[in-house]
Structure 1
Amino acid sequence: MSIAANSVVSLHYSLSAESGKEIENSRQGAGPIQVLIGHGGVIPGLERALLGREAGDAFEVVVAPVDAYGERQEGSMQRVPKKYFRDGARLKPGMVTELATKEGGQRSVVVAKVGSSVIDVDLNHPLAGLTLTFQIEIVSVREASEEEIAHGHVHGPGGVEHAQRT
């Protein structure tokens, strides 16, 4: 089966930046990741590179910032009270942490400066402005269930586990 919109893809990946330094590797985690294609679960440049591929394919894809996490936006610093951080007292400059958004989600930010009651953060994604290189191995491809499509994410092992209602 070829990868298309509403396919569930299980894949291994390694991610490196322009320097060649590895940033992430799915083989060092809980196993391959699962992605529902066409629902914003991966960056656009990677998703386009997956389309038309099949289980067993292994390839490299280079993704420019515009198709990844965008260009860095200068002036994207914000001062936030420490109480809004889970581990505010332990944060140090250069660390990546999560900050709650007004919409109820989470946003990755980089700590720029830590004061006694506030923390200055860079709102750019930590990988913004970088050209990214992915080494991909597609493990499996299947059609998504109607429920997965409706929810916009993969269910079951490697995906989201919803509590069963009785």
Structure 2
Amino acid sequence: MAKMINGQSEVLMHFSICLADGFAVDSSKVNNKPAKFVMGDGSLTPGFEACLLGLKEGQSETFTLAPESAFGLPDPDNIHYLELTKFSADVPAEIGSIITFTQPDGSDIPGIIRDVVGDSVTVDFNHPLAGQTLTFSVDVLEVLN
């Protein structure tokens, strides 16, 4: 009998994440390296975990998540304006670039350069997929516990 995913399962699976237009933004199949996830450890969004619950080994499923259930809606409080002098030739403020910034507590957070006007650089610290309706496809290879 195939094991079923529960709230504490460790799961080995292939996955793909696509935008509403079908563009694949991530897939474990590209390098044929399945991903290992532990349910409930915070590495998956609650909406994604809810879709996995009850799936069995060998099962494939596709589901669509609204932004609120995927990576959330963009939060205007996560948009910051930094001085252009904070950037350098090694780390230029180029629109569309993703740059890792060190926070006061020493942890790193990625930010996307959205705009450069004069000496002001607009940096978006929202998740890059925030606000997107996403389609997840999964192939459950193994439920490890």
TM-score category (smaller protein): 0.7 to 0.9
Q: Which amino acid aligns with 1:82?
A: F
Match of residue 79 from structure 2: 77
TM-score calculated relative to the size of structure 1: 0.73
Q: Which amino acid aligns with 2:46?
A: P
Match of residue 16 from structure 1: 18
Whole-Å Cα distance in 2 between the matches of residues 30 and 118 of structure 1? 42
Q: Does 1:88 align with 2:67?
A: no
Q: Which amino acid aligns with 1:106?
A: D
CA drift of 1:124 comes to 1.6
Q: Does 1:132 align with 2:134?
A: yes
The alignment of Structure 1 onto Structure 2 pairs a total of residues equal to: 139
Question: Any stretches of 5+ residues in structure 2 without a counterpart?
Answer: none
Whole-Å Cα distance in 2 between the matches of residues 139 and 118 of structure 1? 48
Match of residue 111 from structure 2: 109
Whole-Å Cα distance in 2 between the matches of residues 32 and 17 of structure 1? 20
Identical-residue share of aligned pairs (%): 27
Q: Secondary structure at the match of 1:111?
A: strand
TM-score calculated relative to the size of structure 2: 0.82
User: Given that residues 82 and 118 in structure 1 are in contact (C-alpha distance below 8 angstroms), is that contact kept between their aligned partners in structure 2?
Assistant: no
Whole-Å Cα distance in 1 between the matches of residues 120 and 31 of structure 2? 33
Q: Does 1:29 align with 2:34?
A: no
Higher helix share: 1
User: Given that residues 82 and 117 in structure 1 are in contact (C-alpha distance below 8 angstroms), is that contact kept between their aligned partners in structure 2?
Assistant: no
The CA RMSD measured in Å over matched residues stands at: 2.3
